[in-house]
Amino acid sequence: AQSVTQLDSQVPVFEEAPVELRCNYSSSVSVYLFWYVQYPNQGLQLLLKYLSGSTLVKGINGFEAEFNKSQTSFHLRKPSVHISDTAEYFCAVSDTGGFKTIFGAGTRLFVKA
Amino acid sequence: GAVVSQHPSRVICKSGTSVKIECRSLDFQATTMFWYRQFPKQSLMLMATSNEGSKATYEQGVEKDKFLINHASLTLSTLTVTSAHPEDSSFYICSASPANTEAFFGQGTRLTVV
């Protein structure tokens, strides 16, 4: 079974500052890793994903994440955030066979002017 | 990428009635689909795995008689919330996967029981 831990429930940050949202996972099998963003009263939007290959993954809206197998981490980063990045961010893991997805508890990113 | 569509996107129903939510894979076939529930300000929790042509598999704590799942074809799974009550009000999301790729999510259905 897989599990996901998002270490920060809330991250306040000033506009144009860098941000890192932390995610650790556990699994006994190979996994795929994802970051999703959810704006209020909306569905999920995929930011980026790691399936295989390069451990540094670039996504939409200037976000990137690095898969670290030894640390079992998949932290999300953005060098300069905007007010519009304020949202809930979910880290997720799925196995590579059945694709059942397990979500972390979420991190609320709050960008201040 | 693959497209998964849910219908309706929003529904309001009276307490005691039943509501059906559809999840369709538009451009691929899916023998397995997943249903998730998200309460306000919480994460998404897996409710059940929908299996085409056989019974769904429910996660611990999910009432199978309350949340009826039917996966009658390779492109359609339905979730019926029976005898809905206000505590069933939530955001319901489904996912499906084309062969050997990751899961794609529907846009979700917001259920409000009044």
What is A43-81 written as a DSSP string? -EEEEEEE-SS-SEEE-GGG-EEEEETTTTEEEEEESS-
d(CA B91, CA A105): 15
Q: Taking CB atoms and an 8 Å limit, are B45 and A103 in contact across chains?
A: yes
Rg of chain B over Cα atoms, rounded to whole angstroms, equals: 13
d(CA A105, CA B1): 26
How many residues are recorded in chain A? 113
**Distances in Å between the alpha carbon of B29 and those of A22, B49, B100?**
35, 15, 12
Least confident of A87-101, B18-32, B52-66: A87-101
CA-CA-CA-CA torsion for B39, B42, B44, B48, nearest 10 degrees? -50
Q: Taking CB atoms and an 8 Å limit, are A43 and B106 in contact across chains?
A: yes
Q: Taking CB atoms and an 8 Å limit, are A100 and B105 in contact across chains?
A: no
Is any Cβ of chain A less than 8 angstroms from the Cβ of B2? no
Question: pLDDT tens digits, residue range B44-96?
Answer: 999 999 988 889 999 999 999 999 999 989 999 999 999 999 999 999 999 99
Q: Taking CB atoms and an 8 Å limit, are B108 and A106 in contact across chains?
A: no
Q: pLDDT-derived band of residue B100, with 50, 70 and 90 as boundaries?
A: low
Is any Cβ of chain A less than 8 angstroms from the Cβ of B42? yes
d(CA B4, CA A85): 25
Q: What is the mean pLDDT of residues A45-74?
A: 94
In the prediction, which pLDDT does A41 show?
A: 85
Write out chain B residues lying below 8 Å of A95, CB-based. Answer: none
Write out chain A residues lying below 8 Å of B110, CB-based. Answer: 41
Q: Taking CB atoms and an 8 Å limit, are A90 and B46 in contact across chains?
A: no
Is any Cβ of chain A less than 8 angstroms from the Cβ of B32? yes
Phi, psi angles (nearest 5°) of residue B8: -85, 170
Is any Cβ of chain A less than 8 angstroms from the Cβ of B43? yes
d(CA A18, CA B88): 39
**Contact residues for A107 (Cβ-Cβ < 8 A; gap 6+):** A6, A8, A9, A10, A11, A21, A22, A88, A89, A90, A91
d(CA B96, CA B46): 13
d(CA A13, CA B109): 31
In the prediction, which pLDDT does A98 show?
A: 65
- Does B98 have pLDDT greater than 90? no
From the list A42, A99, A105, the residue facing B102 with the nearest CB is: A99
